[in-house]
Amino acid sequence: MGYAPDELMALDNETALSMIHPDDLSLMRTAIAEIEVAGHAAGEYRQRTKTGGYRWICNNMSLIRDSAGSSLYRVGTIRDITDRKQAEMALQDYTKHLRRSNEDLERFAYASSHDLQEPLRSIVSFAQLLERRYTGRLDPDADEYIHFIVEGGHRMQSLILNLLAYSRVNTTEQGLTPTAIEDVLAAVERNLALQLDEAGATLRYDPMPTVMADPMLLEQVFTTLVSNTIKFRRLEMPLRIHIGVRRLDGLFEFSVSDNRIGIEAEFRDRIFVIFNRLLTKDAYPGTGIGLAIVKRIIDRHSCRVWVESTPGEGSTFFFTLPALS
| Rg of the chain on CA atoms, in Å | 31
- CA–CA dist 3, 93 (Å, integer): 30
Residue 291 confidence (pLDDT): 86
Backbone angles phi, psi at 120, to 5 degrees: -70, -40
- This prediction has a pTM of 0.56
61, 76 contact by CB (below 8 A)? yes
User: Alpha-carbon distance 44 to 54, whole Å?
Assistant: 13
Q: How high is the pLDDT of residue 189?
A: 92
| 149 and 266 within one domain | no
| Same-domain check for residues 68 and 91 | no
Final residue of a domain: which of 168, 185, 213?
168
Q: CATH number of the domain that 34 lies in? A: 3.30.450.20
CATH (domain of 148): 1.10.287
For 117-132, write each residue's pLDDT tens digit.
778 888 888 888 888 8
> Which tens digit of pLDDT belongs to each residue from 88-121?
989 998 888 888 877 777 677 667 666 777 788 8
